[in-house]
A = this chain, B = another copy of it.
Amino acid sequence: MSLPHALLTSLLEQPCSGMDLARRFGRSIGFFWPATHQQIYKELGKLEAAGWVRSTAEEGARGRKRCYEVLPAGEQELKRWVAEADDPPPLRDAMMVRLRAEAALGTGAGVENDLLHRLARHRTQLALYEDIEQRDFTGRELSAAEQLQYLILQSGLATEREHIRFCEKALALLEALEPAES
């Protein structure tokens, strides 16, 4: 479970409120560890109780906005956790199950719907990553931290491209196997 450490990382990059975190998650760390604002608020409470962050009320802001920042104990904890190793996350992909089901049922069961839907999603996501690449990591010298962030982005780019290749390949195979369907 890495949500607490994802939050510590994000707050270390830039102290902010729970809502801000939720928004930033949507376009950076959240690509690799999605979280809703509900989860984030609950977790921030735990982090503060553990003495890893502290919060101060932000005057002149909307609602009851609180600003969170990482304490030394939190930074220590993050360092400890970074040096840990664990197994790759188990992968669960319904589309692979669908493909195998199509094989078991005999072709023509309609897995193309899912393949086409995902193809569209992966193309959108790839375009988003390419925009970020163009905007933040192209045409200038990168600091060490930026090189690492770019590396992470490259993982996203490679993954999306691989998914796109796979969907296209699968659709081509299905086309070849059931020429009467189209």
Report A's interface with B, CB cutoff 8 A: 2, 5-6, 8-9, 12-13, 28-29, 31-34, 75, 78-79, 81-107, 109-111, 113-114, 116-118, 121-122, 144-149, 151-152, 154-155, 158-159, 162-163, 165-166, 169-170, 173, 177
Q: Is the CB of B33 within 8 A of A75?
A: no
Residues of B within 8 Å of A9, CB to CB, are: 97, 100-101, 104
User: Residue on B with the closest CB to A116?
Assistant: B85
Q: Is the CB of A148 within 8 A of B100?
A: yes
Given A84-B114, A113-B85, check contact A78 B96 (CB 8 Å).
no
Copies in the complex: 2
> How far, in whole Å, are A177 and B142 apart by their CA atoms in the complex?
12
| Interface of A: prevailing SS | helix
> How far, in whole Å, are A116 and B83 apart by their CA atoms in the complex?
11
Q: Nearest Cβ distance between residue A25 and chain B, in whole angstroms?
A: 11
Q: With A82-B98, A89-B91, A102-B148 given, can you name 5 additional A-B contacts, CB distance below 8 Å?
A: A5-B97, A84-B113, A86-B94, A106-B145, A158-B166
User: Residue on B with the closest CB to A1?
Assistant: B94
Residues of B within 8 Å of A170, CB to CB, are: 151
Residues of B within 8 Å of A148, CB to CB, are: 99-100, 102-103, 107, 173, 177
> How far, in whole Å, are A97 and B89 apart by their CA atoms in the complex?
13
